[in-house]
């Protein structure tokens, strides 16, 4: 079998594509896989790390752009579509699988026109524009969250959870960690970093000192390190963490943004979270993601506009230091199965292919 996996733009789109490719190769080692992404560099670098063949296409987004930018994008994306057609014709895939980003639109549509079976995977509660359009052409639509808004055709849709890399799931240990994990995403989150440091200062004054692992992004790294040093609190601070599995194994609770992939990894590892949705996410999808987790007992929301050191210190005190509460929430977020998509999606594609 031949397969094209396509994604672009952010790690939240790219890493699910990699996870699906890993699962396909595990279940069907003879399957040939080509990763098609943008020419911005991230996709090619990650594909190389995981041993995937890669081809780049230049594409531009249109949502929220000015009329002039939309016009330029139309020209660029027309050329991108024809390049996608050329790639698909040459590769002759049985399946084209897209996990989000504008590049996915051109490649999946090209696959559809060339007779390949097509699938899309949506990581968030509120689907992106590209996936909404592609749902008309897809044979299978794999969802991380229930489609409560009925955006997608029900006959083609299945709630699979998000694909999570094998290295994270296989690295999970039975014994739970005891650390507080602070995550701001790969580029950090200034409001979380600032509030978390000051919240821990408040807790330290009350004699409550958790073991802390803090990923703060490169921009805030020096400031965060200095703040912990000045208050005399020992914390493990990283600008970025490449291998999350050991860090997840040390954590009993997280403070984080609410992208679909982040919540999927926390669900796979059974780590409840104080969730601070990114207020400028497209269609406010992070708030919708967080509400789903909170409504099922897997975490607690603090809106970004309400985030303060005092509020966060109170939440940490009420959650992290109350072990019964924490254990119940851990069970709830694990039970959601938000990170179980890799094997499910791979098995469904192979089943439909008769492989």
Structure tokens at 18: 């990699």
- Domain pair 2-164+340-353 / 169-335, same fold: yes
- Please, what is the average pLDDT of the chain? 93
**Whether this model's pTM surpasses 0.75:** yes
How many Å apart are CA 81 and CA 202, to the nearest integer? 55
Query: Which tokens go with 306?
Result: 């309400």
- For 287-343, how does the pLDDT look when each residue is reduced to its tens digit (9 = 90+)? 999 999 999 999 999 999 999 999 999 999 999 999 999 999 999 999 999 999 999
Handedness of CA 10, 15, 21, 24 (dihedral sign): negative
Determine if residue 337 is left, alpha or beta; phi over 0 gives left, psi from -120 to 50 gives alpha, anything else beta. Answer: left
Q: Reduced to 3 states, what is the DSSP secondary structure of residue 299?
A: strand
The Cα 60–Cα 337 span in angstroms is: 33
Check residue 77 and give its pLDDT. 85
DSSP 3-state of 218? coil
For 297, which DSSP code? T
Based on DSSP, count helices (H) and strands (E) in the chain, helices before strands: 14, 13
Q: How confident is the model at residue 282 (pLDDT cuts 50, 70, 90)?
A: confident
Q: Which CATH architecture has domain 2-164+340-353?
A: 3-Layer(aba) Sandwich (3.40)
- 283 φ, ψ (degrees, to nearest 5): 55, 20
The pLDDT of 16-26, averaged and rounded, is 96
pLDDT at 31: 97
pLDDT, residue 187, reads 54
Q: Which residue has the tokens 């997280």?
A: 254
CA triple 326-169-324, angle to 5 deg: 10
* Residues belonging to the chain: 355
* Cα 252 to chain centroid, rounded: 20
pLDDT in tens, 227-243: 999 999 999 999 988 88
The vertex-309 CA angle with 303 and 310, nearest 5°, equals 95
* Range 125-147 average pLDDT: 94
Nearest to 334 by CA among 285, 265, 246, 274: 265
Domains of the chain, by residue range, sit at 2-164+340-353, 169-335
pLDDT in tens, 167-195: 998 888 878 889 999 997 555 588 999 99
Give the separation between CA 310 and CA 215, rounded to whole angstroms. 21
Q: At what angle do helices 190-205 and 221-231 cross, to 10 degrees?
A: 0
Please give the Cα distance from 247 to 63 (Å, whole number): 35
Structural tokens at position 250: 């040390």
pLDDT at position 307, please? 97
Q: Name the fold adopted by 169-335.
A: Rossmann fold (3.40.50)
pLDDT at 120: 98
Percent of the chain with pLDDT over 90: 81
Residue whose structure tokens are 């009329």: 67
State pLDDT tens for residues 25-83: 999 999 999 999 999 888 999 999 999 999 999 988 776 677 877 788 788 889 999 99
Q: Is the pLDDT of residue 9 over 70?
A: yes
């Amino acid at each position: 079998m031949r397969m094209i996996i396509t994604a672009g733009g952010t790690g939240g789109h790219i890493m699910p594509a990699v996870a699906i490719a890993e699962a396909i190769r595990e279940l069907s080692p003879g399957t040939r896989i080509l990763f098609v992404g943008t020419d911005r560099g991230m996709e090619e670098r990650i594909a190389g790390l995981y041993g995937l063949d890669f081809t780049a296409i230049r594409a531009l987004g249109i949502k929220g752009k000015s009329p002039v930018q939309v016009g330029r994008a139309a020209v660029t994306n027309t050329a991108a579509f024809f390049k996608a057609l050329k790639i698909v014709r040459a590769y002759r895939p049985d399946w084209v699988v897209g996990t989000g980003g504008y590049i996915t639109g051109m490649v999946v549509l090209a696959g559809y026109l060339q007779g390949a079976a097509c699938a899309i995977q949506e990581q968030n509660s509120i689907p992106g524009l590209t996936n909404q359009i592609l749902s008309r052409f897809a044979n299978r639509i794999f969802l991380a969250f229930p489609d409560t808004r009925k955006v997608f055709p029900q006959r083609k849709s299945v709630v699979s959870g998000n694909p999570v890399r094998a290295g994270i799931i296989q690295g999970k240990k039975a014994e739970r960690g005891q650390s507080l994990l602070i995550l701001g995403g790969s580029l950090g989150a200034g409001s979380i970093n600032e509030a978390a440091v000051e919240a821990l200062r408040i807790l330290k004054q009350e004699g409550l000192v958790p073991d802390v692992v803090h990923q703060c992004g490169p921009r805030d790294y020096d400031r965060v390190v200095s703040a912990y040093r000045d208050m005399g609190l020992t914390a493990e601070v990283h600008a970025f963490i490449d291998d999350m599995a050991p860090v997840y194994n040390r954590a009993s609770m997280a403070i984080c943004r609410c992208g679909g992939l982040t919540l999927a990894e926390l669900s796979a590892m059974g780590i409840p979270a104080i969730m601070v949705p990114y207020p400028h996410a497209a269609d406010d999808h992070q708030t919708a993601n967080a509400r789903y987790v909170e409504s099922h007992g897997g975490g607690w929301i603090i809106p970004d506009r309400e985030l303060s050191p005092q509020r966060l210190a109170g939440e940490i005190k009420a959650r992290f230091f109350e072990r019964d509460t924490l254990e119940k929430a851990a069970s709830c977020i694990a039970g959601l199965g938000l990170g179980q998509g890799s094997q499910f999606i791979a098995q469904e594609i192979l089943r439909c292919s008769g492989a």
